[in-house]
Amino acid sequence: MHRKSSVLFLHVAVLLFGFAGVISRFVSLPSVLVTFYRVLFASSSLLILSLARREKLRLHRRSDYFLLFAAGAVMAVHWTSFIQSIQVSSVALGTITFSTFPLFATFLEPLVYRERLRAFDVATALVMVGGVLVTIPEFSIQNQMTAGIAWGMLSSLSYAVLSLMNRRFAGQYSGRVICLYEQGSAVLLLLPAPFLVHASYTVSDWGALLFMGVVCTALAHTLYVGSLKNVRVQTASVISGMETVYGILLAFLLLHEAPSGRELLGGAIIIAAAMASTFAKNRQKP
């Protein structure tokens, strides 16, 4: 029963991750401001939780502070570009293009960690490229959907970089500590945004931003990390791939955004390639 509960919590966490993109459509603010308040509320919640649990927050080395600060900068780029992609196109297109991050990780990981580049990974990456090309309505940056794909690919690239940076710290610190430092760094970097970007705030904006930060980020991250103690990595990876599906379903139910045939076909290709890569990597012998 304990494992079943962990699987359930994992699905809830991934559902909340997908919900964040939908909630951002209810906020009438520029993407950089949405990201700032999201990381502000999320990092504040994680700090309170960490202090309440008396978790050790001091890092082992001075260099780790600098590297986690850099990771926070990458996180700021990732979330800003992801929300921008959704705002200029649709939740479906934003989440579909984001799910291509294994494409960039395929080529970056061997370079960063000096690992062998496998032919299967290259083939999977090429299939993902094909999935992205299917979703493009026309090769014009003036087309909203094309612009959404461009922002989504930047979000995907930055998330791949962030994942590689997190790999360095995964065995040294808890997921909550890593996330706290990264989100706190993002807050500091985006601090000028509210003063430089003028916008009108509504009560619903504040409610949506608070929900995104506390529930869709801080709570979802805590559930996700906690579930990994009783769930296999392979299972967690497959369930994480459901974020795109959950996002599209929630957008359809709450925003009445029906994905086009191109988006469905491209998304199916990308998700299938990502899951095939996940299963293949988990079958590899250590």
Question: Is 164 within 8 Å of 112 (Cβ atoms)?
Answer: yes
Mean pLDDT of 57-74: 91
Q: What is the pLDDT of residues 203-238, one digit of tens each?
A: 999 999 999 999 998 888 778 766 766 666 556 666
Q: What is the pLDDT of residues 248-259, one digit of tens each?
A: 888 888 888 887
DSSP 284: S
**Among 61-65, 171-175, 281-285, where is mean pLDDT lowest?**
281-285
pLDDT value at 2 more than 70: no
Question: Is 166 within 8 Å of 105 (Cβ atoms)?
Answer: no
In one letter, which amino acid is 110?
A: P
As given in the structure block, the two tokens for residue 75 are 């996180």
Helix (H, G, I), strand (E, B) or coil at 242: coil
| pLDDT tier, 281 (very low <50, low <70, confident <90, very high otherwise) | low
In one letter, which amino acid is 181?
A: Y
Cα–Cα distance for residue pair 157/138, rounded to 1 Å: 22
* Alpha-helix runs per DSSP H in the chain: 2-24, 31-52, 62-88, 91-98, 101-113, 119-135, 144-169, 175-190, 193-196, 203-213, 220-227, 233-240, 243-255, 261-283
Contacts of 136 (CB under 8 A, 6+ apart): 145, 146, 149, 262
More confident residue, 3 or 61: 61
Q: What is the pLDDT of residues 144-187, one digit of tens each?
A: 778 888 898 899 889 888 878 877 776 778 778 888 999 999 99
* Percentage, residues of the chain above pLDDT 90: 28
Q: pTM of the full predicted structure?
A: 0.82
Q: What is the pLDDT of residue 121?
A: 72
